[in-house]
Amino acid sequence: MKQLAIMFFTFILTFKVYSQNTDNEYSQLIKEGWKLCLSKDYKSSAKLYKNAFDLNKKVPLTDRYNASCINALAGNKDDAFKNLFIAANELKWDDINHLKNDSDLKSLHSDNRWKILVSSITKNKEEKEKHFDKSLTKILDKIYFDDQSTRNQIRTKEKKYGRNSKEMDAFWQLILKNDSINLIKVSKILDSRGWPDKKLIGSRGSSTLFLVIQHANKETQEKYLPMVLKAVEHNNLPKRQFAMFYDRLVLRRGERQVYGTQLAINNESKKPYVLPLKDPKNVDKRRIKMGLNTMQENMNRWNLIWDIEKYIKDLPAIEAREKELNKKLKK
């Protein structure tokens, strides 16, 4: 019996090591696949995503959807639809607005399978929202679309016209105009009924309210801070979204951010850098508590290294540069 117990323990330990190795291999394949996607090598990217999925039976929705887009861009319609139908039928994905408006999937629209997919995801949405406040969610869906449809074009337009071009200035004016209209609508909701329960508007509805306040000015953010805190406390808003909100707010106060969610682009190197951060050595502990990944995992998106000692050394210069930029903006 003792020998059997030792063998069983050894099996469990071996299984855990194997599982951890598999998880690491999966993450590495997804990371490399995403890099290839960003460099527009869609066919090679799609292959790495497929290899990753062969290792993991429980593929997260985000990875499954990204693979759909990558395969569509690579011209692999069958694999694109395969992943989308898994997202719809097994993972019960319900974001029909995102599906219809994602330009990466345009090549699939003329395929007969598209209507079937749209119908399936629409049913998921109707099932999920059967107890929702329909009139309110309709308003929030429109706000979400107006907020995201323009912001999703920023990178493409910057590449085409340049960050400091007249065209980008005009485009940002359009975004700011939409933000002002959306803020009037959201303020009316929050001022009259508080932060609605997620049971009435869903996660997407709560995220919509968050996005509009996140894009508002400092005074508006200060006004709704108690309401945002209450929404997090009652599980109507994820902690990770609060972390982004709070970091932006304290930076506007002239303080250091807490969770390292806010980055800026260096005009000279064209690379992102972390805006002034409090206690960098312990930032990952704070991030994990808020449901965020580590700083290095976040920096992987730009193929950058999170060097804490270098960041601490550079911090005074970063703060000085930000203060100077803020002075110019206020003039």
How many angstroms separate the CA atoms of 218 and 208, rounded?
18
Q: Which amino acid is at 305?
A: I
Chain segment 154-204, per-residue pLDDT in tens? 888 888 898 889 999 999 999 999 999 999 999 999 999 999 999 999 999
Q: Please, what is the angle between helix 61-74 and helix 42-55, to 10°?
A: 150
Same domain, 47 and 122: yes
Query: Which alpha helices (DSSP H) does the chain contain, by range?
Result: 2-38, 42-55, 61-74, 77-89, 96-101, 112-128, 134-151, 154-161, 166-193, 198-214, 218-233, 239-252, 283-289, 295-299, 308-330
Domain of 183? 133-237
CA distance 9 to 22: 20
- Judgement on whether residues 115 and 17 belong to the same structural domain of the protein: yes
Final residue of a structural domain among 103, 128, 153: 128
Residues 175 and 229 in one domain: yes
Extract the tokens encoding 57: 């039976």
Q: What is the pLDDT of residues 279-327, one digit of tens each?
A: 999 999 999 999 999 999 899 888 889 999 999 999 999 999 888 877 7
End position of a domain, from candidates 237, 263, 286? 237
Asked whether the beta carbons of 207 and 244 are under 8 A apart, the reply is no
Residues 116 and 143 in one domain: no
Any domain includes 176 = yes
CA distance 26 to 295: 19
**Domain CATH for 35:** 1.25.40
Structural domain contains residue 242: no
